[in-house]
């Protein structure tokens, strides 16, 4: 049903543009979900997952993936930058962090660039599952939030936000 509706819409576009004198219309997808070396290099070159405070850039943004629900881009008053949040639960957790006095920096979608170095218990994991099937390049796993706290001393806290049904 969904494919048929898109085909009808594309045919409607083709007819509309044919009436304007164009011979064909190429419809391009908004999102490129393939993972390859060029995309990894581009993300690193753009500074994604790097910086702090106002200069931090999340590893993924709401423009990178199609949404199955509501996404939010929220201006953080602690960081003075736009935060990219994929779910309502991420947004609610973000607001909790904004109002927590001890939190001084909030970094959403923080990449774990060296997954094998970060994971302590590797015996039960098959790292081949974390690779793109086409390119063989390892996926970059990221956590929902990396927060910096200051109470008596500095500390980092990592928080991943997922529904149990999505695990």
159 vs 162, more confident: 159
Cα 114 from chain centre: 17
Least confident residue range of 10-14, 41-45, 87-91:
10-14
Contact present, 91 and 62 (Cβ < 8 Å): no
Is residue 51 over pLDDT 90?
A: yes
The whole-number pLDDT of residue 61 equals: 92
List, for residues 1-28, the tens digit of each pLDDT value.
Answer: 444 444 444 455 455 555 555 554 444 4
Is residue 48 over pLDDT 60?
A: yes
29 vs 107, more confident: 107
The whole-number pLDDT of residue 68 equals: 74
For residues 55-63, average pLDDT: 93
Sign of CA dihedral 124, 139, 161, 88: negative
Burial label, 166 (beta-carbon count in 10 A; 0-12, 13-18, 19+): exposed
Least confident residue range of 12-21, 123-132, 148-157:
12-21
The whole-number pLDDT of residue 152 equals: 61
The whole-number pLDDT of residue 45 equals: 95
**Confidence class of residue 139 from pLDDT cuts 50, 70 and 90?**
confident
Give the up-direction half-sphere exposure of residue 67: CA atoms within 13 A in the CB hemisphere. Answer: 13
Cα–Cα dist 91/70, whole Å: 10
Q: What are the two backbone dihedrals, phi and then psi, of residue 133, each rounded to the nearest 5 degrees?
A: -65, -35
Alpha-helical runs (H) found in the chain: 2-19, 37-45, 88-99, 115-118
Contact present, 76 and 85 (Cβ < 8 Å): no
The whole-number pLDDT of residue 141 equals: 85
Contact present, 48 and 111 (Cβ < 8 Å): yes
The whole-number pLDDT of residue 136 equals: 84
């Amino acid at each position: 049903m969904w494919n048929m509706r898109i085909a009808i819409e594309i045919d409607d576009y083709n007819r509309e543009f044919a009436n304007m004198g164009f011979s064909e219309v190429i419809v391009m997808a908004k999102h490129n979900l393939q993972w390859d070396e060029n995309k990894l290099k581009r993300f690193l070159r753009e500074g994604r997952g790097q910086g702090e405070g106002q200069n931090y850039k999340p590893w993924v943004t709401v423009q990178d993936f199609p949404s199955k629900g509501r996404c939010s881009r929220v201006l953080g008053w602690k960081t003075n930058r736009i935060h990219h949040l994929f779910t309502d639960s991420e947004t609610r957790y973000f607001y909790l962090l904004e109002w927590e006095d001890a939190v001084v920096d909030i970094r959403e979608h923080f990449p774990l660039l060296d997954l094998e170095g970060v994971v302590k218990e590797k015996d039960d994991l098959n790292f081949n599952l974390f690779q793109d099937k086409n390119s063989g390049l390892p996926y970059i796993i990221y956590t929902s939030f990396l927060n910096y706290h200051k109470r008596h001393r500095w500390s980092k806290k990592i928080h991943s936000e997922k529904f149990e049904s999505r695990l």
